Amino acid sequence: MVTGFCDTCFRRPAAPKAPPAPAPEQPEAEQPDPPRRSSSPAAGELDRDGLPVLPYLPSPDPSEAADTTAQPPTGGRRCGVDNCVGTIGVSYGGDPPPDHGFCPECGTEYSFRPKLRPGDVVGGHYKVLGYLAAGGHGWIYLAEDTRVPDLHVVLKGLINTGDAMARRAAVEERRSLTTLRHPDIVRIITHVQHRATGDPEPTGYIVMEYVGGRSLAWIRFAPDEELTRLLGGPLEFGHVITYGCVILGAVEYLHDQGLLYCDMKPENVIHYGRRIKVIDLGAIRTIGDRTSVLTYTHGFPPGRPELDKRGFHIDSDLFTVGRTLKSLAARAAEPVGLAARSFDVLIRRATHPDPAARFGSAAEMSRQLWEVLREHQALAGHEPYPERSTRFEPTAAVFGADLGTVPELKHWTRRSGAEAPELPVGAPEPRETALALPVPIPDAEDGAAVLLGGLAADSPNRIAEQACQDPKLRTVEAALWLCRAYLEADEADQAHAWVRTAKGWTGDYDWRIFWHQGLVHLVRGEVHEAEAEFTAAYHALPGESAPKLALGYCAEYRESAQLAEEQDRGRRATEYYEAVRRRDPAQGSAAFGLARVHLRQGERDRAVAVLDEVPTTSRHYDAARVAAVRLLVGRLPGGAGPGPAELGGAAERLAGLHLDDSGPWDRLVTEVREHALACRPRAGWGTGFPAGDLLGPEDTPEALAALLSRSLKRLADQAGSVGERGDLLDRAYAVLPEPPGFRDLLRGWRRTA
């Protein structure tokens, strides 16, 4: 194990048979330092599960870990003798709490004094070294096994041996620990009896493996200097995520065994080496147990009214994990960008006041926690960790890609005036966006999912009629499929009716209902209402990218509409789009959305930089290259045109484009030349003018006009009708400069006429 001991026999590795030859003697001042293990892993280093590698935390010397002086527990405790509910060990008048006395309710004598002392031998070969802690029910001692050199163990016995409830809890803990086998849960070795002097009967002690290290509670409250010394730096947010995922893995294992942990808190998790281990299973109980006394630490589980009403459940365990992670994150470095909000949203779901809104399993919570980590890593500049969503189907659709589309001939034939129009930087239409957003992965346990998988969505009426007759199609997945089919048919009322049907079958907290209600609102053009539904989906799935993509669009749409109350929407749209595209640079919708936001803010360079980062592996790579050319030369909202550097960048990118045929190429070249002529300063472009085939050999309006006229004539040859060809030829001749004396000649013709 990381501790240096074997996990079977708990011994150190055998010494080598032949020691290496001694090195030549050196003066004392020149002796090399002993090798030290690095505390901090390499920046961004991940383990085989994709989690950040924890810093190496050395185990303290056993003599430092255990105290030779017992520190009795503070605060009152329930008596527990014959189920007495009296409180014992309460201090009065500012005095220290008594470690022995009599219960004020039943009068039974109690004692919190430890039964063992340093030097005592338990079970014939476990020598007590000192006291580690006073747990919920028992004293915890550090001991060494005198039969195995350097093997240390933990002994756990009752604090108050007269507490009947504590005795039952100890039996349950021993039974549970004996059957559990998980690498991240403390292991029981054996159970021994020991009778102290003066005791009428022996006390039972659980013998467990000793996990040398520091509790997460110590890490939470340690001084900055000490924490930096041991960890090699501050506690990172990624380390908190690793803690959470490992803890949830252990908790999931317990749930699979039909057990609840009940008392998760930083004190019950040990960081040792580069690993952690869950300890102290004294509060463990079976799922569904409503009779035994519940043991927990105040502040970590749900409130007492809920526990009294419904008892402890799986979601209650996850509640305690959420509180534990929240307390640890308060000590760690803050997550980057939107990841900070996503983490807060995750904690809010785990600790939601309504149990129905919480995570349903440790695996579900762990997956979302892992997704939040991916978001944090990507926003922090680490290499993206590609993964497929477990909630949404991959999609090739993209919304708002008009910038990446070469203009059609109607761009020139259906406009009035000779001036080139501004770039189309407004948010796309809501209906277009709704149909391009990802689709949830069907529930494999829903019987209708397989039946609907191969059906086309162009005949929803036939499927709806069949769903009303066939019980196999009266499922949530069938209702959601019909909702999407009616949306594609532009029948929003029918789609809304089916999503309401699905909600009646599945309940109020199914994220799929929020998602589909958001799509319905988008198709109807109700962006504000759609944003509320997508926010609910985000709160249910804080690590997923799809809700953030939808929220980015809603914020962009409302910002581009220039609503007075939406002044910060541009910032929020940027935050959402940036989080999505950093996670997946191939995500075209997020890249184009972010580019539009930058353009509306007059940030041409930032918009082009976003498009340049779309990788070659993306199916939207060519569209991004086209958009970059158009962005470099186009007029921004407000009339701002390009400069010489932008023209040069467009010429360079255009030379590297590989379009399907000459038609798109000619149209794109025409648009570049049109903007270059329209935006040319009176004094010319200056020394930065990119002379060449695209913009000509000289920086004069006559030369640019001649090139543009030639391009328009080429487009006229591609026209599909006589009228379209005539419009293009008229525009080709209109851009040419007037010859000398042309206006005098024209006036003469008019007088003659």
The more confident residue out of 421 and 489 is 489
pLDDT for 518-542, tens place per residue? 999 999 999 999 999 999 999 999 9
- Give the separation between CA 485 and CA 550, rounded to whole angstroms: 19
Helices (H), 644-683: 644-655, 662-678
Q: Exposure pattern of 711-745 as b/e (b: 16+ CB <10 Å)?
A: bbbbbbeebeeeebbebbbebbeebeeeeeeeeee
The stretches of 201-337 forming alpha helices (DSSP H) are 216-221, 224-231, 237-256, 304-310, 314-329
354 SS3 class: coil
According to DSSP, the β-strands at 214-215 and 100-102 are unpaired
d(CA 642, CA 653): 15
pTM of the model: 0.85
Amino acid at 56: Y
Instruction: Look at residue 34 in the predicted model and tell me its pLDDT.
Output: 40
Q: Report how far residue 439's alpha carbon sits from residue 435's, in angstroms, rounded to the nearest whole number.
A: 9
Query: How many other CB atoms sit within 10 Å of the CB of residue 397?
Result: 14
Strand 138-145 to strand 152-158: parallel, antiparallel, or no bridges (unpaired)? antiparallel
Across the range 604-622, mean pLDDT stands at 94
Domain chopping of the chain, boundaries: 62-70+114-379, 386-610, 642-753
The pLDDT of 10-21, averaged and rounded, is 50
Range with the poorest average pLDDT among 156-165, 248-257, 506-515, 610-619: 156-165
- How far apart CA 598 and CA 665 sit, in angstroms, is 26
Would the pLDDT of 704 be above 60?
Answer: yes
Which candidate, 137, 183, 126, places its Cα nearest to that of 159? Answer: 137
Give the integer Cα–Cα distance in Å for 170 and 191.
11
Q: What is the chain's mean pLDDT, rounded?
A: 85
Tokens of 504: 């009646």
215 three-state secondary structure? strand
Q: What CA–CA distance (Å, rounded) separates 50 from 188?
A: 30
Q: Which CATH architecture has domain 62-70+114-379?
A: Orthogonal Bundle (1.10)
How many C-beta neighbours within 10 Å does residue 271 have? 24
Intrachain domains 62-70+114-379 and 386-610 with the same fold? no
For 14-33, give the DSSP string. Answer: PPPSSPPPPPPP--GGGPPP
Contact 249, 184 (CB under 8 A): yes
Position 164 confidence tier, pLDDT thresholds 50, 70, 90: low
Distances (CA, A) of 153 to 156, 210, 212, 566, 662: 10, 5, 10, 62, 79
What residues have CB less than 8 Å from 187, skipping those under 6 apart?
7, 177, 180, 181, 208, 209
Q: Which residue shows structure tokens 């409830």?
A: 165
Distance (Å, whole) CA 631 – CA 642:
9
Q: Contact, 205 vs 122, CB < 8 A?
A: yes
Q: Which residues of 584-596 are buried (b: 16+ CB within 10 A; e: fewer)?
A: bbbbbbbbbbbbb
The pLDDT of residue 610 is 96
Whether the pLDDT of residue 673 is over 90: the answer is yes
Residue 635 and residue 610 in contact, taking contact as beta carbons nearer than 8 Å: no
Contacts of 723 (CB under 8 A, 6+ apart): none
Q: How many residues does the chain have?
A: 753
Nearest to 213 by CA among 184, 192, 188: 184
The answer to which of 161-165, 485-489, 496-500, 620-624 has the lowest mean pLDDT is: 161-165
Biggest distance spanned by C-alpha atoms of the chain: 136
Q: What is the model's pLDDT at position 639?
A: 78
Hey, which residues are catalytic here?
Answer: 263
CA–CA separation, 128 and 157 (whole Å)? 12
CA distance 535 to 533: 5
CATH number of 386-610: 1.25.40.10
Q: 96 or 372, which is more confident?
A: 372
As a whole number, mean pLDDT of residues 556-584 equals 81
pLDDT band at 50 (very low <50, low <70, confident <90, very high): confident
pLDDT in tens, 266-296: 999 999 999 999 998 878 889 998 888 788 8
Q: Is 94 exposed, middle or buried (0-12, 13-18, 19+ CB in 10 A)?
A: exposed
Q: How many other C-beta atoms can be found within 10 angstroms of the C-beta atom of residue 547? A: 30
* Token pair for 208: 């467990």
pLDDT average, residue stretch 565-587: 85
Q: Give the whole-angstrom CA distance, residue 272 versus residue 349.
A: 30
- pLDDT band for position 26 (cuts 50, 70, 90): very low
pLDDT band at 752 (very low <50, low <70, confident <90, very high): low
Q: How far apart are CA 666 and CA 657, in angstroms?
A: 12
**Do the Cβ atoms of 278 and 185 come closer than 8 Å?**
yes
Question: Could you report the per-residue pLDDT of 434-491, keeping only the tens digit for each?
Answer: 999 999 999 988 888 877 876 666 678 888 888 888 888 889 999 999 999 999 999 9
User: What distance in Å separates the CA atoms of residue 661 and residue 351, rounded to the nearest whole number?
Assistant: 58
DSSP reduced 3-state for 296: coil
Which run of H or of E encompasses 598?
helix 588-600
Query: What confidence score (pLDDT) does residue 27 get?
Result: 39
Instruction: Give the count of alpha carbons within 13 A of 131, CB side only.
Output: 19
How much is the pLDDT for 28?
Answer: 41
* Residue recorded with tokens 């000289």: 698
Query: Would the pLDDT of 417 be above 80?
Result: no
